[in-house]
Amino acid sequence: MTDLISNALSKILTYDKGNKKECEIQYVSNMLLKVLEILQDNKYLGGFETVQTSKGRHIVVNLIGYINKCASIRPRVAVGNGDYTAVEKRYLPAHGFGIIIVSTPQGIMTHKEALEKNLGGRLIAYCY
C-alpha cells in the first residue's frame, strides 16, 4: 500500500456509486482524517467516525450519494497562488464546481480558502 488517501478515496467512490450507505477504511492517517473532514464540511460525506478495535484503528464513513468523482492527485504538484485557475480547469469540470484539497503551510484546506488567504501549496485530492 503506497498511498492511503488514494486507496481511501477510491473505495469511497466505489461504495458511493454502488449506492452503499457505509464504507469502512482500514488504514488511517492524520492527513486522511483531515481530507475526510474537509469533504464532510463541503457536504460530500454524511460523516465519519474513527473506531478503535483490538486489530487497530479504522474509519467508518457514512455516504450520502453526492460524490460524482473524487481522486487523489499524484504526484503532489506544487502550486503557487496565481495557478489555481489553471488547476481548476484541469481537475474540475467547471469553474466553481467542486473542490481541490491543498496542503499549505497553514494546514490542509480547499483551494478556495487557500486563494482567499493568498497561499500556495501542494495538491492532494479533488472532489466534485
- Whole-model pTM? 0.93
Domains of the chain and CATH, by start: 4-63 (3.30.1370.30), 70-127 (3.30.1490.10)
From the number of C-beta atoms within 10 Å of its C-beta (0-12, 13-18, 19+), residue 127 rates as buried
Alpha helices, H only, 18-117: 30-41, 84-91, 111-116
> Of the candidates 38, 18, 26, 29, which has an alpha carbon nearest to the alpha carbon of residue 110?
38
| Residue 64 Cα distances to 17, 57, 80, 121, angstroms | 11, 23, 33, 30
pLDDT tens for each residue of 47-103? 999 999 998 999 999 999 999 999 999 999 999 988 999 999 999 999 889 999 999
In tens, the pLDDT along 21-58 reads 999 999 999 999 999 999 999 999 999 999 999 989 99
